[in-house]
Structure 1
Amino acid sequence: MTRSDNLTGAILMMASMASFTINDTFMKALAGEVPLFQVLFLRGIFTTVAVAGIAWWMGALFARVSRRDAGSILLRMVGEIGSAYFFLTALFNMPIANMTAILQALPLTITLAAALVFGDPIGWRRMSAILIGFVGVMLIVRPGAEDFTVYSIYALVAVGFVTLRDLATRRLSKETPTMLVTVITSTSIMIFFGLASLTIDWAPMDARAYGLTFGAAVMIIGGYLFSIMVMRVGEISFIAPFRYTGLIWALLLGWLVFDEWPGPVTLLGAAIVVGSGMFMLYREAQLGRQTRFSHGPRPR
């Protein structure tokens, strides 16, 4: 029996979310052992070499970029670098499931930002879903609670940078190859954190640390490639909800690897955020719209 495009898309989406979450797990396993700037630079070397090779093979490495797209790519680089720093700093200091749950608010923040920046229409139903989703985020972050830390703020700042990145991505023309943008972004991360690593004392790394760093690079590349393949098959309204399987992976890996399990209030907040996001996707399907950035890659 031939597998349907929707089923293929769902499998690719789940594979993408699994890859990104495994990357997060590998990176978090290095917390306290290898400085963040050092591991981001080393992972950036592996990632850049690989994506440059793929872009060259696809004939996208030397494509021309318009001046308008160059500006969008620059904004995207800022968003990617900022999200990488704030996301991973938060991840190193808070449970992986909590961090992943906060990220599930991205479809809500991107929809709201697109309405404010690009004038995309947004009705009262979707606006209500966004507001309810933000209530769920506050339940996860819980300002004023005993376990509230500055890293919860870092997580929210990371969401802001990812939103900037995806809005900049939306402004790119179809003539600019996706893989070329990926190479430029990956190179910028490698260079930025390479320079930043000169300001710290490098830590010695054993075979385990190098293995985790290389594994994280492989997972990042796999997650990004899967997310590109997702965009080419099936219906977005069917496939996009499977992006929330990343939260399931985060719960399982957080429990198995780090012995972490969120409290009831955090789980309630996560359920509210996911429910709001699912409603947003339902409304997009009802209105016949396709959100171009509804399942883009996670922070690097």
Structure 2
Amino acid sequence: MSQTLLTPSPALRAPSAGALFMIAAGVAFAGVNTLEQIATTRLGIPAPTAAFLQYAVALVAVLPWALRHGLPSLRTRRPFLQAFRVLLAALGVQAWVAGLAHGVPIGQAVALVMTSPFVVTLGAGLLLGERVSAERWLAVTAGFVGGLIILDPFSASFTAASLYPLGAAVLWAGVSLMQKRLLAEDSPEAVAAWLLLMLAPVNLLLALPAGLAMPSASGWITIIAVGVLTAAAQALLTLAYARADAAYVQPFDHVKLPLNVLAGWIAFGWLPPSRLWLGAALIVGASMFLLWRESRTAAAYSASSS
């Protein structure tokens, strides 16, 4: 899950540092995904248990920092919407880990989850009533076409498990849409605190029906590494957005795709088919167009209101 769990604090603007932090976050997430797949496919940790333990360890890792800086208040005007947002985020984590546990190649999974911004745009137009231009609809269509090319649902290699990362993308898009609604009424600190403090308990509730399976010694070492890397990746994302504008650092987030492909090749010997690069090119190109479009619109609004 690449959404920040912490709220960026004011910092000196340093765009190059922001880009480096974003790339470092991509490296950390590649480590998270690789170790998570090792934990579930080779060490036998069930996906629901792995998802819970990942965020439980991440919470333990980040709590000393949070306590030292003061935990933000959970006070909110929309507690049910906050809780539903956390539930969607946890379901997204469960879907993501289930995909890895079923052997979906890491690079393919990451490429599919990169369609999430297009789902956000679609939802903003259909559910939030935001105006979506023809250019944005075109970008959304191109992004979904890229996802279909990667999935290749009519090939012999297609399995239902390939849909898990796509499900995670849809669920996390829902999290982003609800975050936009919540930020209109609640403080950013409260919105971040709900996700930070509640994600592990909700994942525990989702894991209980299948039963928690305690890992072996090597399993514990791997899952602790996953949790610590998750916390580190979230901290690096926070630093990236604190050091530079989102429009500047966001393109560097796309570096995570080749990083995860490389990690999948090193750990599992998976070489991506050519269709992955074609589909990824459409997804990255469309998302870059959306980013450029949004930044241009924001600049025009700022100029007109000044």
Give the alignment's TM-score, normalised by structure 2. Answer: 0.85
Aligned partner of residue 67 in structure 1, secondary structure: coil
Letter of the 1:57 counterpart: R
Kept after mapping to 2: 8 A contact 1:30/1:209: yes
Show the counterpart of 2:54.
43
% identical aligned pairs: 23
Deviations 1:135-192 (A, max 9, x none): 1100011112111110122222111111111112222335251552233233334432
1:255 lines up with 2:255 in the alignment: no
Kept after mapping to 2: 8 A contact 1:51/1:182: no
- Residue 24 of structure 1 is aligned with which of 29, 33, 37? 33
1:241 lines up with 2:251 in the alignment: yes
Kept after mapping to 1: 8 A contact 2:114/2:169: no
RMSD: 2.1
Shift of 1:40: 2.5
Q: Distance in 1 between matches of 2:37 and 2:241?
A: 29
- Paired residues in the alignment total 283
Q: Distance in 2 between matches of 1:289 and 1:88?
A: 38
Please identify, of 146-155 and 176-185, the stretch whose mean Cα deviation from structure 2 is larger: 176-185
| 1:74-85 correspondence runs (5 A) | 74-85=83-94
Show the counterpart of 1:12.
21
Show the counterpart of 1:175.
187
Shift of 1:119: 2.1
- Residue 131 of structure 1 is aligned with which of 137, 141, 147? 141
Aligned partner of residue 270 in structure 1, secondary structure: helix
Show the counterpart of 1:264.
274
Deviations 1:216-273 (A, max 9, x none): 0011101111222222222222211111011011111011111001111122111111
Residue 288 and residue 96 in structure 1: after superposition, are their counterparts in 2 closer, same or farther (change >3 A)? same
| 1:50-69 correspondence runs (5 A) | 50-61=61-72, 63-68=73-78
1:107 lines up with 2:117 in the alignment: yes
Letter of the 2:216 counterpart: M
Q: Distance in 1 between matches of 2:214 and 2:17?
A: 43
- Residue 232 of structure 1 is aligned with which of 235, 239, 242? 242
Gaps of at least 5 residues in structure 2 are: 1-11, 301-306
| 1:188-203 correspondence runs (5 A) | 188-198=201-211, 202=213
Shift of 1:133: 1.1
Show the counterpart of 1:295.
none
Gaps of at least 5 residues in structure 1 are: 291-300
Show the counterpart of 2:3.
none
Runs of 4+ aligned structure 1 residues displaced above 4 Å come to: none
Letter of the 1:262 counterpart: P
Show the counterpart of 2:304.
none
Kept after mapping to 2: 8 A contact 1:137/1:269: yes
Q: Distance in 1 between matches of 2:202 and 2:33?
A: 17
Show the counterpart of 2:100.
91
Residue 36 and residue 233 in structure 1: after superposition, are their counterparts in 2 closer, same or farther (change >3 A)? same
Shift of 1:47: 1.8
Please identify, of 240-249 and 114-123, the stretch whose mean Cα deviation from structure 2 is larger: 114-123
Residue 255 and residue 181 in structure 1: after superposition, are their counterparts in 2 closer, same or farther (change >3 A)? same
